[in-house]
Amino acid sequence: MNSFNRLQEAQQTLSPIFSSIDTKVKKNLRRVLEAFRRHQVGVHHFAGVTGYGHDDLGREILDRVFADVVGAEAAAVRVQFVSGTHAIAAALFGVLRPGDEMLAVAGAPYDTLEEVIGLRGQGQGSLKEFGITYRQLELTESGEIDWQTLAAAIRPETRLVHIQRSCGYSWRPSLSILDIEKIVRLVKQQNPETVCFVDNCYGEFIEDQEPPAVGADLIAGSLIKNPGGTIVPAGGYVAGRADLVERAAFRLTAPGIGREGGATFDQNRLLFQGLFLAPQMVGEAMKGNHLTAYVFDQLGYPVNPAPFAPRRDVIQAIKLGSPEKIIAFCKAVQSYSPIGSYLSPVPAQMPGYESNLVMAGGTFIDGSTSEFSADGPLREPYVVFCQGGTHWTHVALALEAAIEEVGQCEG
């Protein structure tokens, strides 16, 4: 069967799943629209201010809208956040103090947090260098949360529990909202004062609730991923309990300034519009994930999640088994990207990552991975991670080329 026919067959088989995703998109869009109406968003909120950014009405309303959408008391949605990692770091440094412990409950965190925590690097001002200790609970052999260990894991010094919603660069199931709710409940039973923090990257609008709605104290993520709707040019967010959001904002700006400062550089319209578009864009990425999983499962490659499994983020992993196949896959995706299709991805070191990476990302916003993208670290077991997709038809076109380049699994 050629690649075109494979995609046609996959499309027909997945049609009921695509329809169910559209239903979820409608529900999430309703939530966004209700927040826009509640706060009476108008064109006057698109205007920004200069300098210190004091009294930026658009920024203040956007914070309230975003908080409503994710079920939080407060939010800080800022173009000054360089990335999701930056927003997460601000949240961690905002909450934790010398002598506190941070406990990661879903195994090792995403690679870019290793230097923030102090697992790699020296002299950078990591949490470790400020006297904050770190501990992590390993996952079970099947990649699940070790619920029995978690039920007795909280110590008096455990100030913050780190919950990574997405699988990151690991071969494990990403967490569902129900998983996060169960984690929060177990932690709070042991110590109600322990802060439950969720790295929410890649998970926004996958389900019809966000972590604060099920008890998480604080979340953080990137605006050039899911909640930016493919058009927000930069930034990140923190949301949750009002006091904790303010603490994170103090780390972004300075103590005493917090959320009161920060010019928006006339980006307010794009921030509002991106949030409006986000449910639809995430829905299309989910369809692309199912499509990717289906065709590569048919080719004999291990895929995570499985083709018909519910999505928990916008990441689809394929275990290709060799560096050559990862590079070939990424080259095919890059050749079908709207931007930089003439470029050929090559492995290279990236800031914040331990292993060399190969990345295909011909996106309109640099690094966003909102259009169909693929990347992976060149280390065993050689897994490529696909993300994004503004419309599943674009994913299908790129997959036709990727199938031809990678071929049937030889294992």
User: Does 34 fall in a domain?
Assistant: no
Q: What is the pLDDT along the chain (411 residues), one digit of tens a residue?
A: 788 888 999 999 999 999 999 999 999 999 999 999 999 999 999 998 899 999 899 999 999 999 999 999 999 999 999 999 999 999 999 999 999 999 999 998 988 899 999 999 888 999 999 999 999 999 998 889 999 999 999 999 999 999 999 988 788 899 999 999 999 999 999 999 999 999 999 999 999 999 999 999 999 999 999 999 999 999 999 999 999 999 999 999 999 999 999 999 999 999 999 999 999 999 999 999 999 999 999 999 999 999 999 999 999 999 999 999 999 999 999 999 999 999 999 887 776 666 788 999 889 998 888 899 999 888 888 999 999 999 999 999 999 999 999 988 876
User: Does 32 fall in a domain?
Assistant: no
Residues 6 or more apart in contact with residue 249 via CB below 8 angstroms = 76, 90, 94, 238, 257, 258, 259
Domain extent, residue 20, equals 3-27+278-406
Domain holding 369: CATH number?
Answer: 3.90.1150.60
Same domain, 226 and 288: no
Domain holding 162: CATH number?
Answer: 3.40.640.10
What secondary structure does DSSP assign to 30-95, as a single string? HHHHHHHHHTT--GGGG----TT-TT-HHHHHHHHHHHHHHT-SEEEEETT--SHHHHHHHHHHHH
| CA dist., res. 366 & res. 388, Å (int) | 13
User: Does 156 fall in a domain?
Assistant: yes
Residues 6 or more apart in contact with residue 75 via CB below 8 angstroms = 63, 64, 66, 67, 237, 238, 239, 240, 245
Same domain, 81 and 220: yes
Same domain, 140 and 22: no
- How many of the other CB atoms lie within 10 Å of CB of 201? 27
| CA dist., res. 302 & res. 318, Å (int) | 6
Residue 357: predicted pLDDT: 84
- How many of the other CB atoms lie within 10 Å of CB of 140? 13
- How many of the other CB atoms lie within 10 Å of CB of 342? 9
User: Does 35 fall in a domain?
Assistant: no
Q: How far out from the chain centre does Cα 3 lie?
A: 30
Cα torsion for 117, 120, 122, 125, to the nearest 10°?
Answer: -20
- β-partners of residue 304 are 317
Polymer length of the chain: 411
Same domain, 228 and 347: no
Using the 3D structure, point to which of 275, 310, 329 is the last residue of a domain: 275
Listed residue (220, 266, 255) closest to 113, CA to CA: 220
| CA dist., res. 16 & res. 12, Å (int) | 9
Using the 3D structure, point to which of 227, 243, 275 is the last residue of a domain: 275
Beta strands 101-104 and 74-78, pairing class: unpaired
User: Does 256 fall in a domain?
Assistant: yes
Using the 3D structure, point to which of 253, 275, 297 is the last residue of a domain: 275
Q: How far out from the chain centre does Cα 296 lie?
A: 23
Listed residue (38, 26, 135, 95) closest to 238, CA to CA: 95
Same domain, 271 and 296: no
| CA dist., res. 86 & res. 80, Å (int) | 9
User: Does 380 fall in a domain?
Assistant: yes
* Phi-psi region at 235: left, alpha or beta (left = phi > 0; alpha = psi -120 to 50): left
Q: What token pair was written down for 340?
A: 């930089």
Beta strands 303-304 and 236-240, pairing class: unpaired
User: Does 188 fall in a domain?
Assistant: yes
Same domain, 323 and 189: no
Same domain, 245 and 108: yes
User: Does 206 fall in a domain?
Assistant: yes
| Dihedral sign of CA atoms 86, 90, 91, 97 in order | positive
Same domain, 202 and 328: no
Q: What token pair was written down for 268?
A: 């307010």
Same domain, 184 and 82: yes
Residue 3: predicted pLDDT: 83
Same domain, 237 and 321: no
Same domain, 351 and 307: yes
| CA dist., res. 91 & res. 200, Å (int) | 12
Number of domains making up the chain: 2
Same domain, 9 and 113: no
For tokens 């930089």, name the residue. Answer: 340
